[in-house]
Structure formats: structure tokens, C-alpha cells
Structure 1
Amino acid sequence: MTEPLTRMPWTALPRDLTAAVEARLGAPVAAADDQSGGFSPGVAARLTLTDGRRAFVKAVSPAQNPDSPHIHRAEVRIAAGLPEDVPAPRLLHSFERDGWVVLAFEDVPGRTPAQPWDPEELRRVLDAMTGLAARLTPSPVRAPSAAERLAESFGCWARLAADRDAGTDDLRGLDPWAAEHLDELAALESRWPEALTGGTLAHCDLRADNVLLTGDGGVVFVDWPWACTSTPWFDLLCMLPSVTMQGGPEPEGLFAGHPVARDADPAAVDAALAALTGMFLTQARHPAPPGLPTLRAFQRAQGEAALAWLRSRLRA
């Protein structure tokens, strides 16, 4: 667990930018409720307009983090194409000005799940993921494949082994078991591109802070910039290490008992889990990106949970 990220507040945006948001929404902003969740240093605010309507606005520029504007642009492409019956916020407007990328969504009257996880809320989210995978198979929008989307993020064990062999990485700070079995982990993860081949649109970043529970019993999945086509079970695999890390049950029982994983090839799951684990644990060893001081600790905690799951599956 990490402390909430300190985001830029709505009031810190340039006035011409907030005026442009108000013009697109059709009314001045009467109140802004800044949100602290997630891992972007930009603005995330729930706005109440003078006419009583509400909207959720995200905005970022390279000054906060050089990569964040690209992430927002990717989210625009996915969010604009999601059908209305997908449980995700509707994109109302998006625009760019002076390096800023701004997205305005419908405001979802919901809250993130309790932490540590409440068993009933977890059941509710896992049930919703069954329906989500079914609705997004085949993918209703054009999106990169998992192999394309994750080419730079996965394959970390192999790159780490190459750096070790070249004498440029002494593996300091890496889990001792992982360091000892690095070559086996690199071989195991090597199948991840074919293991994750599929026609389902995967969110690819599901965790508690990207889920909203609504008062009518619904579940809404937010923040879609990393979406890609993959297997029906990939979102579940990605989410479960964070569930365990945040006080939920161990992953294997949840995965094995879930409908989307019923037909999953165990070897494919092992390959994908190895690649996911490698991404978390190797990225956690890097310096924090600009504006994201809590990211590495969060990745390390997920990586430790994922490694424990992987070792249990491998009986290692």
C-alpha cells in the first residue's frame, strides 16, 4: 500500500484552460472536488456546474510528467469508441491546448471499493468482470494487441538476464529467489505474446482505484488508456495481485474459480504471470518517474504478490 498521490488541483489549471472546459460543458464550474486516486500527476476533478450538471475532468501536460499526455491521448481513442452498454464512463469532450490534454467524462456517482477489500464488494467486482469480458468479446473498438501494447513493458526477465551477463546489473534489490532463477523466469515468460493472443478487449490496468461501485449495485470500470486485445482472462490475472496486496484472498483460488479462466491454458497463464511479475519487480527497481513518487512502491507490492502466486503455481 502507498499513500495517495498528490495531484495538481483544478484551481491550478490555467484560466484559459478551465474556460475552455466550461465552454464545452456549457456552463461555469460552481465547485470542483479534486480526486487523489490513481497514478497520474495531472488534474482529476469531479465538477459541479452552475446548472446542477456534473462532469469528471482529467487534464495533464508534459510539465507534470512527459509521458502522461500520450497516455491521455490513448484513453481518448479507446473511450470514444466504447459502446454505451459497456460499464465505463461516457467521454463527453476531449481537446488539446498549449501542451495540455483534457478529457471530460460523465461523472459516475460511485466510490472505489473499500480497502482492505470487503468480500461482498470483491464478489461484486469479480462478477462484473465476467459480464465485461463477454461484452468485449470480440473487441468493439480498434485497439493494439497485447503483444503490441506490452512490447516495452513485458520481457523484463530476459532483459535483466542480458544486463546481468553484460555486467551492467548486479541484481541488487531483486528478490533473492528471482535472482537465483532468473534464466528459468526468462524462459518461462518468453511465450507471453502468444499466450496473450485473443480477441477480447482487455482493460489491462484493473485494480481497486480503477473501479467504481454505484448505489444501484452496479460496477463501472474507469481509466482505459492501456486497453488492448487479449484473452478473456488477462484482466483477471492482472488484477489479482493487487487484490491480495490490498487485503483480499490469495489469487489462485479466485482465478481458478472464475468463469473467464475456466478454459485458460495453464501454460499460457504461467507465461503471462511470469511476464507480469517481471514487469512489476524490475520497474520497481527504477527511480520514480517525474511527478509519480508513490508508483514504485505500489509496483513492488504488486510484484511481490505476483511472485508468490507464480511460485505457488510452479510449486517452487
Structure 2
Amino acid sequence: MPWRRDELDRVLTALKEMAAALTPSPIEASTVGEVMGDSFQGWRRLLGEDAAGLDPWALRHLAELAELESGWETAAAGDTLVHADLRADNIMLTPDRVYVVDWPWACLAAPWYDQVAMLPSVGMQGGPAPHELFDDPDPAVTAVVAALTGYFVRQGRQPDPPGLPTLRAFQRAQGVVALEWLKRRTGWV
């Protein structure tokens, strides 16, 4: 870190190749909704919580964000085997290969899911903003970005879990990047 553009381009190409090779999934797996469904309710949970300190745009649109987020499972559905937790620390680069490691969350989703879910971490780790790397205007992508953003924003507001003192800061940083992407994708003022 920070991301070098040539390495990021290799990873993004590898993700497209990986999605193509893993569609349809070569193994049986749970859906992304089954695996992540309980986690991706950040905006809906924030509706019932103290939202003090929440980004003013998010606070203004909280009900709309909760509604948008509620459709993420259908939007992310697919028959591609995805990693579902891609970040720089789950990717190994050699001079000629890209390896994706640590697959405990593997599940079925849309072929674009891994790339979309990874981009907030790319942006917070010195890479380009997500909208520069993924510009598909599909409303399904926006619903998934809303769910990811709600997750990062809400989790970043929680106390540090025992033994993981940097997790919430990492989630908050991803939430900042994801929120800017979501603002751009929705076009809401």
C-alpha cells in the first residue's frame, strides 16, 4: 500500500477472469444473501438507533437509504462463486499471477460482486475512487453499494471488538469512501 495502478489493474483483470471461470459455480454454496444478509442491514438498523454524528446527507436520506438497501439481496443474486471479502490482505501478487486467498465467506452472487465490494477498501488504501473503476449504472449495483455502505457506516460506529483494535477505524475509512460513491450513484441532493 498504497495501491500501485499497475498492480491494481492486474487484480481487476484477475477478478474478471475469476468471475468468468467461476460462473456457474463449480461447487454448491450458499447465496450472498444467506451469508451476508444479517450484516447488510446497516441503514435499517440506524433508523432505530441514535444517529448523532451521522453524515448530514446520510441522515437526511436515512429512510430512503434503508429502502434502497432492502433490495440488495435480489440485486446481488447470481450463480458466480465469489470470495465476498476481498481486500488487499486477501490478495497475493507474484510477478506473473494474482492469488485470492482466505475464502471463509465464499458464496454465490452476481459476477461483479467481488469487484464492487472491494472498491471502498481500494479507495481508502490509496487507490482510485470506486466510481473511476466501476461505472456500470445498473440500479442493482447501487442497491449493493447502499448495503455495503450501510454496513461500513454502522459498524464503524460500534465499539472496538476485543482483540481487534483497528477494525472499526478500517470500517469507518471504507464507509467514508463508500458513502461518497453512494452519493454519486444516487444523485440525491
Which TM-score band (shorter chain)?
over 0.9
The letter for the 2-side match of 1:170 is D
Q: Could you tell me the TM-score, scaled by structure 1's length? A: 0.58
Deviation at 1:173, TM superposition (A): 3.1
Deviation at 1:255, TM superposition (A): 1.1
The letter for the 1-side match of 2:157 is R
1:284 aligned residue: 156
Identity of aligned residues (%): 57
Between the aligned partners of 1:151 and 1:183, the Cα distance in structure 2 is 19
* Bigger share in strand: 1
* Bigger share in helix: 2
Any runs of at least 4 consecutive aligned residues in structure 1 with deviations exceeding 6 A, and if so which?
A: none
Q: Which of 241, 245, 248 is the aligned partner of 2:124? A: 245
Between the aligned partners of 1:174 and 1:298, the Cα distance in structure 2 is 17
Give runs of aligned pairs for residues 168-247 of structure 1, distance below 5 A: 169-215=49-95, 217-247=96-126
Deviation at 1:243, TM superposition (A): 0.8
Q: Which of 107, 112, 134 is the aligned partner of 1:255? A: 134
Which secondary structure does the structure 2 equivalent of 1:302 belong to?
Answer: helix
Between the aligned partners of 2:2 and 2:42, the Cα distance in structure 1 is 30
Unaligned 5+ segments in structure 2 are: none
Q: Could you tell me the TM-score, scaled by structure 2's length? A: 0.95
Over the aligned positions, Cα root-mean-square deviation in angstroms equals 1.2
Between the aligned partners of 1:131 and 1:145, the Cα distance in structure 2 is 21
Between the aligned partners of 1:125 and 1:285, the Cα distance in structure 2 is 30
Which structure has the higher relative contact order (CA within 8 Å, separation 6+)? 2
Between the aligned partners of 1:304 and 1:286, the Cα distance in structure 2 is 15
Between the aligned partners of 2:183 and 2:174, the Cα distance in structure 1 is 14
Deviation at 1:266, TM superposition (A): 1.2
Structure 1 position 158 matched with structure 2 position 44: yes
Deviations 1:143-180 (A, max 9, x none): 1101100121012211221x1xxxxx321232222112
1:142 aligned residue: 28
Alignment check: 8 A CA contact 1:173 1:285 kept: no
Between the aligned partners of 1:173 and 1:224, the Cα distance in structure 2 is 34
The letter for the 2-side match of 1:210 is N
